[in-house]
């Protein structure tokens, strides 16, 4: 079995000058040792031992696999439970959002109704303002007419007073003339 100097250098962090001669020396030493055949009885015991080790290792590995499989199954069940809880929370969130969306739609409808009412109120206020302006104009006209009427009444009262005075004067003149005749 020979190794490349690069692999040894890499593994041990050695230089080519250090590894090369040592590797050459190991190969020469290994080449000088005889290759002895393994006796059949040793080989059979070795095979039985390897088979026993393999069975023990397989049994231990299966046991570990079963433990790991159970752990994974438990973890899957736990994750499944968590996913169900998350799904329920998500469903609740969706329901909540649907309710909020419905509330938002109602608020939008109310806002539209309020806007319509505001427009109608504005229109009614504009009409009322026009009516108020016309009523103010009529009031001013009536106030002017009332003022003129009062002036006319004062003038009439003055004329009546003058008329009364003239009647007295006429009566006095008639009395004076009747007495002179």
Q: How many residues does the chain have?
A: 181
- Predicted local confidence at residue 123, as pLDDT: 92
- Predicted local confidence at residue 8, as pLDDT: 67
Alpha-carbon Rg for the chain, nearest whole angstrom, is 64
- Which stretches of the chain score pLDDT less than 70? 1-6, 8-9, 12, 33-35, 179-181
Residue 177 corresponds to which tokens in the numbers above?
């003339």
Residue 160 corresponds to which tokens in the numbers above?
């009546």
- Predicted local confidence at residue 46, as pLDDT: 86
- Predicted local confidence at residue 6, as pLDDT: 66
pTM listed for this prediction: 0.37
- Predicted local confidence at residue 111, as pLDDT: 92
Handedness of CA 80, 83, 87, 89 (dihedral sign): positive
| pLDDT (tens digit per residue) in 39-89 | 888 888 888 998 898 889 888 889 898 999 999 999 999 999 999 999 999
């Amino acid at each position: 079995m020979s190794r490349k100097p690069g692999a040894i250098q890499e593994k041990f962090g050695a230089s080519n000058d250090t590894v090369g001669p040592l590797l050459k020396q190991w190969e020469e030493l290994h080449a000088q040792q005889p290759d002895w055949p393994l006796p059949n009885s040793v080989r059979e015991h070795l095979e039985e031992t390897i088979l026993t080790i393999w069975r023990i290792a397989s049994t231990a590995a299966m046991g570990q696999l079963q433990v790991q499989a159970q752990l994974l199954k438990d973890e899957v069940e736990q994750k499944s439970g968590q996913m169900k809880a998350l799904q329920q929370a998500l469903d609740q969130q969706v329901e909540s959002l649907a309710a909020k969306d419905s509330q938002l739609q109602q608020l939008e409808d109310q806002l539209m109704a309020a806007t319509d009412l505001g427009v109608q109120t504005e229109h009614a206020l504009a009409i009322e303002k026009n009516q108020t302006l016309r009523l103010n104009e009529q009031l001013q006209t009536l106030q002017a007419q009332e003022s003129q009427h009062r002036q006319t009444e004062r003038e009439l009262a003055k004329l009546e007073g003058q008329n009364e005075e003239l009647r007295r004067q006429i009566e006095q003149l008639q009395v004076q003339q009747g007495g002179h005749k």
